[in-house]
Amino acid sequence: ILNVEQSPQSLHVQEGDSTNFTCSFPSSNFYALHWYRWETAKSPEALFVMTLNGDEKKKGRISATLNTKEGYSYLYIKGSQPEDSATYLCALHTGTASKLTFGTGTRLQVTL
Amino acid sequence: DVKVTQSSRYLVKRTGEKVFLECVQDMDHENMFWYRQDPGLGLRLIYFSYDVKMKEKGDIPEGYSVSREKKERFSLILESASTNQTSMYLCASGPPGNQPQHFGDGTRLSIL
C-alpha cells in the first residue's frame, strides 16, 4: 500500500490569513496528483489534477504546486474565508486503472 | 453536472445481516469505486469496477463484495455485517484516464 502523507492534520486560521499545506508521496510511483475539497455534509469535490513537474494550478484564491522529483505538492489558500473550512484531500494516481490512493487529509477551520 | 447518488445517507443494521449499499451515476462513466472513510485513516479503496460485470479488489476488500450488472449502478455488499464495518461509505465514478472522480454524498453505516 502506497504511503501518501498530508500535513498538518488540522489547521485553525482566522479570516484573511493565508495558509498552505503539504502532500507528500513516493515519487517513483507518480502518474498524477489530485486535490479534493470535502466540506462537512457534502461530497468531496475535485479541485485540481496535476501531472507535470513544476506545474502550478489556480482556482480563485486556491492554488497548488507540484514537485514530482522530490514527491510533494503544496496547496495554498490566499485570504482564507469561513467558506474555505473543509477537509482537503490529496490523492496519488499511479496509472493503474484510475485507482487513487488518498492521504488522510488536512482539516482547515477558518474563523471570523 | 455529474450526479452520483447513494441510496441512503444513514443506515443502521445488525451484526450478521447482509447489507446492500447502492450507487448510481448519470454520466456514463466507465469507472466506479467504493471507499470507506474512518477517522485518521483517510479514504480507503474497497473495490472498483472499470466496466460492466468487471471488478477489482482495492486495498481492503475483506468482508465485502460488489456487483455491477449495469454501467450506471455499482452495489457494495456486506456479506455478514460486523461491528468493525461501521463507517462512512463513499461511492465515486469517473471516466478512464487521468480525470477527477465524482463522489456521492456518502452513507453513514452503523452495525449494532
- Chain B residues with CB under 8 Å of A41 CB are 105
State whether A103 and B42 contact (CB < 8 Å): yes
- Please name the helix (run of DSSP H) or strand (run of DSSP E) that holds residue B53, with its range, or none: none
Q: In which band, very low, low, confident or very high, does the pLDDT at A95 lie, cut at 50, 70 and 90?
A: confident
Rounded average pLDDT over B32-39 = 95
Bridge partners (DSSP) of residue B10 are: B108
pLDDT at position A28 is: 87
Residues 15-54 of A with CB under 8 A from B: 31-32, 34, 36, 41-46, 49, 51
pLDDT at A29: 79
Pairing of the two strands A45-50 and B73-78: unpaired
- Which residues on chain B are in Cβ contact (under 8 Å) with A102? 35, 42-44
User: What would the pLDDT profile of B39-52 be if each residue is shown by its tens digit?
Assistant: 888 899 999 999 99
A60 contacts: CB under 8 Å, gap ≥ 6: none
- The arithmetic mean of pLDDT across residues A52-56, rounded, is 93
- Beta-strand ranges (E) seen in B39-106 are 42-49, 56-57, 64-70, 73-78, 87-94, 102-103
The answer to whether the CB atoms of A49 and B98 lie below 8 A apart is yes
| Chain A residues within an 8 Å CB radius of B98 | 31-32, 49, 51, 93, 98
**Confidence class of residue A106 from pLDDT cuts 50, 70 and 90?**
very high
d(CA B22, CA B6): 6
Q: Any idea what DSSP says for residue A27?
A: G
pLDDT by residue (tens digit) across B56-101? Answer: 999 999 999 999 999 999 999 999 999 999 999 999 999 988 889 9
B4 in reach of chain A (CB within 8 A): yes
Confidence at residue A98, expressed as pLDDT on a 0 to 100 scale: 80
Distance from CA of A26 to the nearest CA of B (A): 17
> Which of B94, A76, A96 has its CA nearest to residue B104?
B94
Question: Which of B31, B58, B100 lies closest to A46 in CB terms?
Answer: B100
Q: Which residues pair with B85 in a beta bridge?
A: none
For residues B100 and A51, give the distance between their C-alpha atoms in angstroms, rounded to a whole number. Answer: 12
CA distance A68 to B83: 40
- Asked whether the beta carbons of A27 and A19 are under 8 A apart, the reply is no
**A68/A101 Cα distance (integer angstroms):** 16
CA terminus-to-terminus distance, chain A: 40
Which tens digit of pLDDT belongs to each residue from A62-71? 999 999 999 9
Tell whether the model's pLDDT for residue A1 goes beyond 70. Answer: no
Nearest C-alpha of chain B: how many angstroms from A63? 17
The C-alpha of B55 sits at a distance from chain A's nearest C-alpha, in angstroms, of 11
Q: How confident is the model at residue A19 (pLDDT cuts 50, 70, 90)?
A: very high
Cβ of B85 under 8 Å from any chain A Cβ? no
C-alpha to C-alpha distances, A5 to A2, A24, A111, nearest whole angstrom: 10, 5, 26
Rounded distance, CA A5 to CA A27, Å? 12
3-state secondary structure of B20: strand
Does the structure show a pLDDT above 80 at B1?
A: no
**Length in residues, chain A:** 112
Provide the pLDDT confidence category of residue B2 given band limits of 50, 70 and 90.
low
Checking if the pLDDT of A78 tops 80, the result is yes
Tell me, yes or no, if A103 comes closer than 8 A to chain B by beta carbon. yes
Summary mean pLDDT of chain A: 94
DSSP code per residue over A8-23: -SEEEEETT--EEEEE
- How far apart CA B19 and CA A9 sit, in angstroms, is 32
Residues A28-47 have pLDDT tens digits of 878 999 999 999 989 999 99
